[in-house]
Amino acid sequence: MDNLAHSLVGLAAAKAGLEKLSPAATTVCILAANAPDIDFIAVFFGDRWTLLHHHRGFSHSLLGTLLFGLFIPIVFYLVDQVVVRIRGGTARLKFRGLLIASLATVATHPLLDWTNSYGIRPLLPWSGRWFYGDLAFIVDPLLWLIMGAAAFLLTSRSKLQITLWGLLATLISALVTFATLRGRSAHPLILLTLWFGSLFLIVISRRLDFGRLLDRKLALLAFGCLVAYWGVLGVIHFVALNDARVQATLMAQQRREEVVRVAATPTLVNPLVWRCVVETNKAVQRFDLSLTASQGQLSNIVLYEKLDSDKLQVVEFAESDRRAKLFLEFARFPVEQIVGDCATETLVQFADLRYTEPGPSRGAFSVEVPVTCPTVSDGR
């Protein structure tokens, strides 16, 4: 998930009671909730393939999050001890309280990241296997709304805090409006009405001082709503995955193929439209499935046939390239195509069909590798 979501979860966790365990516990909660994403510094020590290799890697594993959960309170406690020695006085921070707050909130990070289709590798360094929740899009405005409402009502005490929350709400609303109008929702005005109506109710709740009246119960209620929301998404995903399997089986039978695996992944701002990817023994296919459309009505259908043995030899040569190795380590539904010829230049284009298609300018989820080959013909 995005760092705004992680920060809101960390802040809500602090307001749910963790802040009372020690001074600076709220800061520790927010830092711990975001800590595993420190793997982004990998981009400064290599290229985008280095980042692809390390992102959602060890820092998001069970062992990695545990180490972060221990490291952050130790640093805070040691700094507090140094300040006491220099300035005198008594220590303010309680190590046990900081440790509990840190461990509790750092654990939310891989959990939130697991819910989307990018996945995590929790068993590193022993196993690089990816696990995917496929429940929520990597950016989820409803999560912002649930956790942000609780955090706002519990922290908007001063004019400065209210102003900062207002600026954040304005920015997020602009992003939600843009994504909804440019997305694939069949009813964008209804979604926007629900969004701005929810913001209006939050403002009314602030005027009624619900934050002060409910205190930490409000934060606990937000976490309960988040769990319930994931439960609803789980049911919808179950339906979408079953429908995707039915459609995949019908199309595979028409081509005399056998289905190997199917995934239904969420889309932005619309839990009723799912991007489905299917691998058969002869091809990899992607299509968009609307749960409200007529049975069998699919859109944005893309299919890549698996290459024959002659072309696979060229692909295997390209797979020895560092970029291809790192990409294929990440890709869930890799596809390849070969372009060019041996007289000029032969290129092997890889892509993860979850996100994009093979091509020279397809972003971080594709790679193009030049190869030298004895014989190869154009085609996919």
- pLDDT above 50 (res 246): yes
Reported pTM: 0.91
- pLDDT above 80 (res 72): yes
Query: 304 near 283, Cβ under 8 Å?
Result: yes
pLDDT in tens, 30-49: 999 999 999 999 888 888 88
Report domain extents, the chain: 1-128, 235-305, 309-371
- pLDDT above 50 (res 379): no
- pLDDT above 50 (res 94): yes
Q: What is the structure's pLDDT at 282?
A: 94
Decide which of 3.30.429, 1.10.287, 1.10.3210, 3.10.450 is the CATH code for 235-305: 3.10.450
Give the span between the Cα atoms of 316 and 240, in whole angstroms: 35
Within the chain, where are the H helices? Answer: 3-15, 25-34, 48-54, 62-87, 95-106, 108-114, 141-155, 159-182, 188-207, 210-214, 216-254, 309-318, 322-330
Band of residue 164 on the pLDDT scale cut at 50, 70, 90: very high
Q: What is the structure's pLDDT at 296?
A: 65
- pLDDT above 90 (res 238): yes
CB-count exposure of residue 193 (10 Å: 0-12, 13-18, 19+): exposed
pLDDT in tens, 285-315: 999 999 887 776 788 899 999 988 878 888 8
Q: What is the structure's pLDDT at 68?
A: 96
Query: Whole-number mean pLDDT of the chain?
Result: 90
- pLDDT above 80 (res 78): yes
Q: What is the structure's pLDDT at 186?
A: 62
SS (H, E, C) 70-113: HHHHHHHHHHHHHHHHHHCCCCCCCHHHHHHHHHHHHCHHHHHH
pLDDT in tens, 186-214: 678 888 899 999 999 999 999 999 888 89
